[in-house]
Amino acid sequence: MIEPTGRTAWEYRKTEVPPGLEIAILKPSLGQLQVIDTPYGRFGAAIAFDMDFPGFLLQAGRKHADLMLVPENEYPEIDPMHSRMALYRAVEDGFNLLLHASQSLSIACDYQGRIYGLMDHYHAKDRVLVTQLPTRGVSTIYSHGGFLFPWICMFGLGVLLAATFLARPSSSLNP
């Protein structure tokens, strides 16, 4: 991340390295997502495969990132699914997302999942995405509670299932 003054604020390497060739040549980062205050909000960044890990991206919500900048270079086999999956991280953690994807679908969306711009690498002639995004994100229940809400839902489901089986009337042999 380069500040307006030209100073390097921080460098980032991909945290989650996919299996295959990349794991042999890339050393993953320590998993600390960085954010920087700018006149346009708090910016953060992740790289491609990092967006598949809700636990890692939870840092963006907890650090109140307003905009996440995400470069990707994808494989045709996962186009456009992988780019669209990143939209869920934006909604979960309350940040706006600008994902630029080479060989896939570039997407700009807000913290509610509303799409402001799309550019499909395979169908766009100029391969330019111009969009305007909100400059502020929001705080979400997920960014505060993490995986607590899904665990509460699982516990509630368990209670309902137990109550269903325990409340069954026993079959009576007496007419």
What is the pTM for the complete model shown? 0.80
Q: Whole-angstrom Cα distance, residue 175 to residue 168?
A: 18
Identify the CATH assignment for 21-143 out of 2.60.40.10, 3.40.50.800, 3.60.110.10, 3.40.50.300. Answer: 3.60.110.10
Q: Which of 48, 56, 39, 134 is nearest to 93 (CA)?
A: 56
Identify the pLDDT of residue 102.
Answer: 85
Residues 70-110 pLDDT 10s: 998 877 777 788 888 899 999 999 999 999 988 888 999 99
Is a pLDDT exceeding 60 seen at residue 156? yes
